[in-house]
Structure 1
Amino acid sequence: MTAQQLILSLVLATMVFSVALELKVDDFRRVAQTPRAVVCGLIPQFILLPVGTWAATLVLDLPPNVETAMILVAACPGGSLSNVVTHFGRGNTALSVSVSAVASLIALVATPFNFSWMVASNPVTASWLRTLSIDASEIWVSLLLLLAVPMALGLLFSHRLPAVTARIQKPLANFSLVALLAFIVLGLVRERQLLTLGLLPMLLIVVLHNASGLFFGWATSRVMGVSERDRRAVMIEGGMQNSGLALGIIAVQFNSDLGMVIIASLWGIWHIISGMTLALLWRRRDALGSLTAASPQT
């Protein structure tokens, strides 16, 4: 692990810890009692977005490497950032964490499976078929160090030290917001050599692709009749893919193909922007709703 990766991991773990300070064990108990919401969060990630992406690549006339990258990103699970964005948007954070944990484990089998059948059944991408090798140890380390440990520590901290928790909650919440913005800026700086006007068509593809993931999350939650807070979590989980995993696979198994790197890199930047935009809109709507409810009746 490089120094940059270590710093980013520590920042992400701190963000998850700050989210956990505002949760209770009962939040997860309620999620366990309603597994339908977890299933609702998994359907967009492992069925609707992959199938929708595959269908789109059959219709669109795009370069093979671009279509392969779209398929790869769609086959990847969500990441821990989705939990922070869901929390900021006042969605069901416990549900988001639960979906992320289950999705990461399912991805060990589902990601290679989805990628293989989608690439093989598309004449344009068939020659790009690879047998994906996902290191299970990396998934476990990510789950433990970036999700389970900071989440457990945050829950324990808030339970044992409520007074201290009350003092540090707001500063850590502000840190999480600044860190999310920093992830966007760092992504733009890191990929600055790719950010040219010629990149606009690729960006449009990523924006529409990401929007479809958010839409599938919204549609699934509407059909399954989950609550508003659950719907927010499902939408974010559907629209935030683990582009870091995709970039790692591209580097190892596709020799860092430029077209594939561009798609995955743009995803890594854009899904935070779209997720934060939704979260801000939800917060604004909640604030307006509170003002309306508090206004005197005439």
Structure 2
Amino acid sequence: MRGAGADLHVIGLQQGAALGIPVGLQFQNDLLEGQHGCELGPTPWQNTLAGVARPVAGKAAYPRKPLILRGFLAVSLPPRGKTNMTTQQLVLSLVLATMVFSVALELRVEDFRRVVRTPWAVLCGLIPQFILLPIGTWGATLLLDLPPNIEAAMILVAACPGGSLSNVVTHFGHGNTALSVSVSAVASIIALVATPFNFSWMIAANPATASWLRELAIDASGIWLSLVLLLAIPMTLGLLFSHKLPRLTERIRKPLGNLSLLALLLFIVAGLIKERQLLTLGLLPLLLIVVLHNASGLFFGWLTSVAMHVSTRDRRAVMIEGGMQNSGLALGIIAVQFHSDLGMVTLASLWGIWHIVSGMSLAYYWRSKDARSAH
């Protein structure tokens, strides 16, 4: 995919994916060859994923078309020349904006002032994302004998920043939400430079992936638009609402938070139920890689926060920021610049599923721990 059409797709994909919005599990056949005229050759992981592929008549050279796993991320390729969000993406964006608004109802401007007075904590949240996880991932790809496209996908995910969903998970886990929001905002801006830089040096420094080197084109307008619409506006409205209408805020805060969280979980469950027949044992090897990779991000967040002696609430925020990478942004880049390579798309999509599971599980553990300590 090249030229102006490809540029339009970059903008549309990154606007939909810049904050890693989770959506239902979806497999889309004919995505590349039918809609975009891209031909894919077989990859080393097609045999592993044979359980989710089906024969297509009339394709002697390539008897099985790849099914594109879009998993839990608001990333889809619009028709050629268009960048409109789908209805599903729009609904999920509204759900996420509502969740951010409900989180903001429990924050005060003073919370952000404390973050400004302690930039050390923000730096602590950025180190795992842009230094430790990329270096650790690069080292893992050198040690592990994995297919080059899988290693390239791991490197790309590690090079991406976190998304605003991490703010919601941090809040649910009684972490420092203001710190999480601040780190997410700063990380998204830094990512315009750091993501292409980290991806380039890691890919080039690994002999197995050197041929996968690309000059990543990250659309700045998409990042800014997502930050404004899905983070800045609902966060500001929530702060103003709680300041101007404290009594009403107290009445709606908990029900609104529970409702938005329930809506998010319903989307996830509905997607899993709808596509349950496609969840085969063939995905287990990739899922294991994703679980360990995600665990390393959480570990690097914990290690950094302990080394820098931040508070417990700050440590929780830093861990979530380190473990919830924006695999939605990674999927957008993969679709446009790597022709939706099956192995890369599958790994990035599984990241989108698992980091929600691991993040929410960790947050629930922290909540339970706090409840026990209170008694």
**Which aligned pairs between 1:140-179 and structure 2 lie closer than 5 A?**
140-179=224-263
Residue 22 (structure 1) aligned with residue 106 (structure 2): yes
Separation in structure 2 between the aligned mates of residue 118 and residue 51 of structure 1, nearest angstrom: 8
Please list the CA deviations of residues 13-59 of structure 1 after superposition, one character each: whole Å capped at 9, or x if unmatched. Answer: 11100000000000000000000000000000000000000000000
Deviation, structure 1 residue 170: 1.1
Deviation, structure 1 residue 4: 1.5
* RMSD, aligned α-carbons: 1.3
TM-score, with structure 2 as normaliser: 0.76
Which residue does the alignment assign to 1:294?
none
**Which aligned pairs between 1:45-60 and structure 2 lie closer than 5 A?**
45-60=129-144
Residue 213 (structure 1) aligned with residue 293 (structure 2): no
Separation in structure 2 between the aligned mates of residue 191 and residue 79 of structure 1, nearest angstrom: 25
Which residue does the alignment assign to 2:171?
87
Runs of at least 4 residues of structure 1 off by over 6 A? Answer: none
The residue identity in structure 2 corresponding to 1:14 is T
Separation in structure 2 between the aligned mates of residue 40 and residue 244 of structure 1, nearest angstrom: 24
User: Does the 8 Å CA contact 1:73/1:242 hold for their aligned counterparts?
Assistant: yes
The residue identity in structure 1 corresponding to 2:247 is A
Whose radius of gyration is greater, 1 or 2? 2
SS of 2:237 mapped into structure 1:
helix
Please list the CA deviations of residues 255-278 of structure 1 after superposition, one character each: whole Å capped at 9, or x if unmatched. Answer: 111101110100001001000000
Instruction: Return 5+ residue gaps in structure 2 as ranges.
Output: 1-84
Separation in structure 1 between the aligned mates of residue 100 and residue 146 of structure 2, nearest angstrom: 38
Deviation, structure 1 residue 192: 5.2
Instruction: Return 5+ residue gaps in structure 1 as ranges.
Output: 292-298
Separation in structure 2 between the aligned mates of residue 191 and residue 78 of structure 1, nearest angstrom: 27
Deviation, structure 1 residue 194: 5.2
Deviation, structure 1 residue 180: 3.9
Residue 72 (structure 1) aligned with residue 156 (structure 2): yes
Instruction: Say which is worse superposed, 152-161 or 179-188, in terms of deviation.
Output: 179-188
User: Does the 8 Å CA contact 2:160/2:329 hold for their aligned counterparts?
Assistant: yes
2:197 to 102, 107, 113: 113
The residue identity in structure 2 corresponding to 1:286 is D
C-alpha change, 1:210 and 1:187, in structure 2 (3 Å) is: farther
Separation in structure 2 between the aligned mates of residue 61 and residue 186 of structure 1, nearest angstrom: 36
Separation in structure 1 between the aligned mates of residue 136 and residue 256 of structure 2, nearest angstrom: 38
Could you tell me the percent identity over the aligned residues? 81
Q: What is the number of equivalent residue pairs in this alignment?
A: 291
Which residue does the alignment assign to 2:61?
none
Separation in structure 1 between the aligned mates of residue 236 and residue 216 of structure 2, nearest angstrom: 32
User: Does the 8 Å CA contact 2:95/2:264 hold for their aligned counterparts?
Assistant: no
Deviation, structure 1 residue 181: 2.0
Please list the CA deviations of residues 93-144 of structure 1 after superposition, one character each: whole Å capped at 9, or x if unmatched. Answer: 0000000000000000000000000001101111111110000000000110
Which residue does the alignment assign to 2:265?
181
TM-score, with structure 1 as normaliser: 0.95
Residue 256 (structure 1) aligned with residue 326 (structure 2): no
C-alpha change, 1:21 and 1:182, in structure 2 (3 Å) is: same
**Which aligned pairs between 1:197-276 and structure 2 lie closer than 5 A?**
197-276=281-360
SS of 2:217 mapped into structure 1:
coil
Separation in structure 1 between the aligned mates of residue 271 and residue 206 of structure 2, nearest angstrom: 31
